[in-house]
Amino acid sequence: MDIVSFITIVFCMLVPSFQASMAVDSILLSNSSVSDSMRIVSKGGSFELGFFSPGNSGKHYLGIWYKNIPIQTVVWVANRVNPIKDSSVAATLTLNATGSLVLTQNDTVIWYSTSLKQVQNPVAELLDSGNFVVRDGEDNNPEAYLWQSFDYPTDTLLSGMKLGCDLKTGLNRRLTSWKTPEDPSPGDFSITVDPRNYLELYIMKGDSKFFRTGPWNGVGFSGSPELTENHIFDFGFVSTKYDIYYYWLSHKNSSIISRYVINQTEEARIRYVWLEDEENWEIYTQKPSDHCDQYNLCGQNGKCVITGSPPCQCLKGFTPKSPQKWSLVDWSDGCVRNKPLNCSEKHTHKFMKLEGLKVPETTHSWLDKTLNVEQCRQKCSENCSCTAYTNSDIRGGGSGCALWFGDLIDIRSFASGGQDLYVRMPASELEFGNNKKLIMIVAIPIAAILCTVLVGGYFIYKVRRKRIEKSKNAQVEIQSNERDDLDLPLFDLPTIAQATENFQENNKIGQGGFGPVYWGKLLNGQEIAVKKLSRISELGLIEFKNEVKFIAKLQHRNLVKLLGYCIEDEEKLLVYEHMPNKSLDFFIFDETKRKLLDWFKRFHIIIGIGRGLLYLHQDSRLRIIHRDLKASNVLLDDKLIPKISDFGLAKNFGEEEIEGNTRRVVGTYGYMAPEYAADGLYSMKSDIFSFGILVLEIICGKKNKGFYIEDSTHNLASEAWLLWNEGKVLELIDKNIEDTCNASEILRCIHVSLLCVQQNPDDRPTIGSAMLMLESEVALPEPKQPGFFHGMGPPKVHTFSSSQKECSSTNEMTVSLLDAR
Ligand SMILES: *[C@@H]1O[C@H](CO)[C@@H](O)[C@H](O)[C@H]1NC(C)=O
Ligand SMILES: *[C@@H]1O[C@H](CO)[C@@H](O)[C@H](O)[C@H]1NC(C)=O
Ligand SMILES: *[C@@H]1O[C@H](CO)[C@@H](O)[C@H](O)[C@H]1NC(C)=O
Ligand SMILES: *[C@@H]1O[C@H](CO)[C@@H](O)[C@H](O)[C@H]1NC(C)=O
Ligand SMILES: *[C@@H]1O[C@H](CO)[C@@H](O)[C@H](O)[C@H]1NC(C)=O
Ligand SMILES: *[C@@H]1O[C@H](CO)[C@@H](O)[C@H](O)[C@H]1NC(C)=O
Ligand SMILES: *[C@@H]1O[C@H](CO)[C@@H](O)[C@H](O)[C@H]1NC(C)=O
């Protein structure tokens, strides 16, 4: 080792002369000093130590920066809180006899280091890693440092540094941002390990938690599933009796320079890589990186879904603690259980599996790396205050055990990657799911009983329905079923004529089976959609009014809302709220617009439609069969919440019975159940068929052309069925959701849709069962062949009027068929 001893160079800072500055490989200081113009260069030439002055601050600091990078990038500052303000007198760095580095100016100590022990012959050296170290010159172990700058990081973590705790010395190595780019004094942001938690890092803003990485899971941090092996660096988290720390290391062979920094301006921890060609630092990773990274945004027992609108949701089985605040997008109070855990019944408790998560904060957690997941479940289930568990290490199928106690904090879900979490639930919250599971297992071999069992399931569902509804994050609003003092506004014709500019053709926004729909604007500014029921004049006034009242009573988040009606001069008008996003078909069948619907949005749309249908079939007193469920009858509000429209009309003008036979078939090709199209037999199960088709269309972004098309490859349902049997059904999904998708969830939805479109109505699930299948993990029976006809040709069509075309520019029509028998 080239050692230059006893160097004392004093240089005036007023005339800094880099040419004159001295650069040496390493330095041994002993009762000697380095002055302000002097630079110490590490042996391999990577780093340099000396004095610098950031920007126009006029203040001087002792620091370390990259030697070969043209943009001065300081990685460590010695006297960050105590700058040298007056540069008229030279400052000197001295390694004194007892092994302390002492920075002085005019005999005033500005900064000094401590030494683990006093030694005879201390030496100081800047290593090529950027670590400035003091050693005992007599010690043969070159790594027995008496002091090292790596133990006192500034805002930068270099390769080989440790971010975290030395439990023997109590030293907590944390990064703290510079206050400003011109002021290296400690800013508000820091990144640190909390030794009470297991294997997590926090970004703090002042004393508040700002971002949590999520616990280390053997591969990475739970909150950064995207960051895995890469060609630039390795990283890890060490937790022993003596140490808890995060570290990263450049790949041995990699010449790529990288640094990990906390930056106050960016309010983030950023990893940069140096781009040699562009002579620039490029951001490689950054945290927090989106809204959902904000610490505990959704409160206790909530989870953040970045694609959600709003992003915060309660975990299943929980509802907002303060619904009022929640609806005003203040989620801080989080969620509470629908049904509290009763510890006297702890042995009946079950665990609900949640997938794809950043697992909750580990402050009140317990970790045992030796247990497997089964033992972990056991352990959790024995202690009633244990609320959740999962594998602590996800490698090789998972091992280790992490238990959570109390509320679950700061959870988010990821479109891909993320961890499983098993949350303790009262049996009754999941009971129905298990009943169904049993039912399904029985149902598979004994197809004959399937129908009966499903009917049974339906009744069980009826009984449980209230509770399940409650559990749906308070999203479902059932109101006024029982309210009889209904005062639905009666609009007068001039008002509506004015709003729609005399039913101007330009204002026509749709054409339903019973008449055209117009956009309009009331004098108070409210936008409305007016449906003109031109062809129901045969209906008596009283019946019409009754029907209107009855429709008005159907109030549900997923049904379009009737605002009022109008009867005048043979005109019968229904006034609805206007939906700015038009209907679902505008999105899913449009090349550009469907890009706006990622999988999470689509899934929520599917669930929303299902809830609307559930309400029509089971929750409303009158059990309405929609008979024309299709993409163009599903409207989307500004938050893309689906609203079924045209509800009740089919029932309204049809027969009285719930399951029956009609001479007049109302519906739309492609959505019509075969028994309905062919025999006029309608039931809730024919709506289920349409629902199944709709779900397929939403997932695939393709239109089901209709059952009558002979070439069955043109039929979405049959194509799905064929690919399903080959195990390749994912080939059919819209490529826009391929990336963002949760394949198992998509598969489940396709599976359910195939069950809904089965040929035999009795094989199809009720909407209650279908919703349960979509929203939980009950076992699903294998679907049978979907219902469609071959070689039948288009049935005879009787059109009501000349303007049957939907405005959606598709080839779809609501039609009325004559009895096909
Ligand atoms: C350090 O140097 C000063 C003068 O430069 C001298 O007076 C002092 O004795 C030295 N101390 C040691 C321990 O060498
Ligand atoms: C070296 O500096 C440290 C820190 O200023 C001080 O505590 C120690 O007494 C000094 N040792 C000598 C020999 O001056
Ligand atoms: C240096 O220290 C001496 C004695 O403490 C003081 O008189 C002088 O003003 C100081 N010089 C500067 C530039 O601070
Ligand atoms: C933080 O980031 C900003 C913007 O990227 C940059 O201008 C600034 O110099 C950085 N601050 C520090 C202290 O490096
Ligand atoms: C480094 O590169 C050399 C030559 O390219 C290769 O043989 C060696 O395996 C590499 N080592 C590592 C650790 O990647
Ligand atoms: C808890 O369960 C026990 C046994 O089933 C029951 O007696 C008790 O009333 C329950 N407590 C509450 C608060 O529900
Ligand atoms: C359950 O776990 C909590 C938290 O670790 C602990 O305080 C309590 O003693 C445990 N109870 C039992 C019965 O083991």
pLDDT at 550: 67
- 759 and 681: one domain? yes
Tokens of 290: 């989106």
Atom of ligand 4 nearest to the CA of 181: 13
Q: Is 734 a catalytic residue?
A: no
- pLDDT bracket for residue 379 (50, 70, 90): very high
Cα separation, 431 vs 411, whole angstroms: 25
In a domain, 550, yes or no: yes
Could you tell me if 253 and 211 lie in one domain? Answer: yes
Residue 448 lies inside a defined structural domain of this protein = no
pLDDT digits (tens, 9 = 90+) for 542-575: 666 666 766 777 788 898 888 888 877 777 888 8
CATH code, 45: 2.90.10.10
b or e along 68-81 (b: 16 or more beta carbons within 10 Å of the residue's beta carbon)? eeeeebbbbbbbbe
Helix axes 767-775, 684-700, angle to 10 degrees: 30
Please tell me whether residues 795 and 683 are part of one structural domain: yes
Chain position carrying tokens 């909750």: 360
Closest ligand, as measured to the CA of 134: 2
Kindly tell me if the per-residue pLDDT of 757 is higher than 60: yes
The whole-chain average pLDDT of the chain stands at: 79
CB 537 within 8 A of CB 690: no
Identify any residues that bridge with 40 across adjacent strands, giving them in sequence order: 24, 49
Q: Tokens representing 515?
A: 């008449």
CA-to-CA separations, 298 to 230, 320, 472, in angstroms, rounded: 32, 10, 16
Distance in Å, CA 407 to ligand 7 centroid: 15
The preferred substitution site among 385, 387, 401 for testing ligand 7, maximizing ligand atoms within 8 Å of CB, is: 385
pLDDT at 660: 54
| pTM recorded for the entire structure | 0.57
Each residue's pLDDT tens digit, 439-496: 444 444 444 433 333 444 443 433 344 333 333 333 323 233 333 445 677 888 888 8
Instruction: Tell whether the model's pLDDT for residue 15 goes beyond 70.
Output: no
Query: Do residues 261 and 281 share a domain?
Result: yes
At residue 513 the predicted structure's pLDDT band, cuts being 50, 70 and 90, is low
Q: What's the domain count of the chain? A: 5
Q: Is the CB of 102 under 6 A from ligand 2?
A: yes
Last residue in a domain, options 289, 322, 348: 289
678 CA to middle of ligand 7, Å?
64
pLDDT for 688 beyond 80? yes
Does residue 449 fall inside a structural domain? no
Q: What is the mean pLDDT of residues 121-138?
A: 91
Query: Would the CB of 782 count as within 6 Å of ligand 4?
Result: no
With a cut of 80, say whether residue 358 has pLDDT above it. yes
- Res. 821: pLDDT tops 60: no
**Residue 272: what pLDDT?**
95
Does any ligand 7 atom lie closer than 6 A to the CB of residue 385? yes
Q: What is the pLDDT of residue 763?
A: 93
Task: Put residue 329 in one of left, alpha, beta given phi > 0 → left and psi -120 to 50 → alpha.
Answer: left
**Residue 659 contacts by C-beta under 8 Å, 6 or more apart in sequence?**
681, 682, 683, 684
235 band by pLDDT with thresholds 50, 70 and 90:
very high
Q: Is 182 in the pocket of ligand 4 (CB under 6 A)?
A: no
- Range name among 1-5, 219-223, 703-707 with the lowest pLDDT average: 1-5
* 577 residue type, one letter: E
Same domain, 136 and 224: no
Q: Are residues 592 and 614 in the same domain?
A: yes
Q: Does any domain span residue 190?
A: yes
- Tell me the pairing of strands 335-337 and 318-320: antiparallel
The answer on pLDDT for 795 being more than 90 is: no
Please confirm whether the linkage preceding 195 is cis (ω < 30° from 0): no
Residue 438 in domain: no
Q: What 3-state class would DSSP assign to 357?
A: strand
813 pLDDT higher than 70: no
- H-assigned helices in 369-426: 373-382
Alpha-carbon distances of 450 from 135, 543, 574, 764, 767, rounded to whole Å: 79, 39, 41, 9, 15
> Could you tell me which residue, 5 or 490, shows the higher pLDDT?
490
Please check whether residues 506 and 596 belong to one and the same domain.
no
Confidence of residue 739 (pLDDT cuts 50, 70, 90): low
Rounded to an integer, the average pLDDT of 319-326 is 93
Give the Cα separation of 627 and 625 in Å (integer).
Answer: 6
Of residues 566 and 392, more confidently modeled: 392
- 402 has a pLDDT exceeding 90: yes
pLDDT > 50? residue 681: yes
Residue that is last in its domain, among 577, 605, 633: 577
pLDDT band of 420, cuts 50, 70, 90: very high
Q: Which residue has the tokens 């950031």?
A: 54
How far apart, in Å, do the first and last CA atoms of the chain sit? Answer: 101
| Greater pLDDT, 281 or 139 | 281
Mean pLDDT, residues 736-765: 84
Segment of 137-146, 292-301, 449-458, 638-647 carrying the highest mean pLDDT = 292-301
Please write the tens of the pLDDT for every residue from 526-539. 889 888 876 554 55
**CA angle, residues 582, 586, 587, in degrees to nearest 5:** 105
For residue 529, what are the domain limits? 477-577
Q: What is the pLDDT of residue 812?
A: 39
Q: Is the CB of 55 under 6 A from ligand 4?
A: no
Per the model's pLDDT, the better-predicted residue between 8 and 638 turns out to be: 638
- What SS3 state is found at 236? strand
Residue 668 domain flag: yes
DSSP 196-248: TSSS-EEEEETTEEEEE---B-SSSBTT-TT----SSEEEEEEE-SSEEEEEE
For the stretch 777-794, pLDDT in tens is 788 899 998 886 443 433
Least confident of 148-162, 167-181, 619-633: 619-633
The CB of 343 under 6 Å from ligand 2? The reply is no
Q: How far is the CA of 78 from the centre of ligand 3 (A)?
A: 23
Residue 222 has pLDDT above 60, yes or no: yes
Helix (H, G, I), strand (E, B) or coil at 45: coil
Asked whether the predicted pLDDT for residue 59 surpasses 80, the reply is: yes
Q: What is the CATH number of the domain that holds 610?
A: 1.10.510.10
Q: Average pLDDT, stretch 632-661?
A: 70
SS3 668: strand
Same domain, residue pair 773 and 677:
yes
Please determine, for residue 21, whether its predicted confidence score (pLDDT) is greater than 60.
Answer: no
Give the number of the atom of ligand 4 that is nearest the alpha carbon of residue 178: 13
Above 60 in pLDDT, residue 603? yes
Are 135 and 12 contained in the same domain?
A: yes
pLDDT at 26 over 60: no
Distance CA 172, CA 191 (A): 11
Whether 98 is in the pocket of ligand 2, judged by its Cβ within 6 Å, is yes
Q: Are residues 759 and 660 in the same domain?
A: yes
Q: Do the domain assignments include residue 436?
A: no
Residue 657 pLDDT > 70, yes or no? no
The reply to whether 443 falls in a domain is no
User: Tell me, what's the pLDDT at 677?
Assistant: 75
Catalytic, out of 136, 293, 619, 628? 628
486 or 340, higher pLDDT: 340
pLDDT reading at 263 higher than 50: yes
Domain boundary among 257, 289, 321: 289
State mean pLDDT over 4-12: 29
> For residues 110 and 81, what is the distance between their CA atoms, to the nearest angstrom?
9
Q: Are 627 and 654 in contact (CB under 8 A)?
A: yes
Q: What is the CATH number of the domain that holds 505?
A: 3.30.200.20
**Among residues of the chain, what percentage have pLDDT more than 70?**
77
Mean pLDDT for 293-317 is 92
- Same domain for 643 and 752, yes or no, is yes
403 and 316 share one domain = yes
CA of 144 to the centre of ligand 1 (A): 26
Could you identify the atom of ligand 2 that is nearest to the CA of residue 115?
3
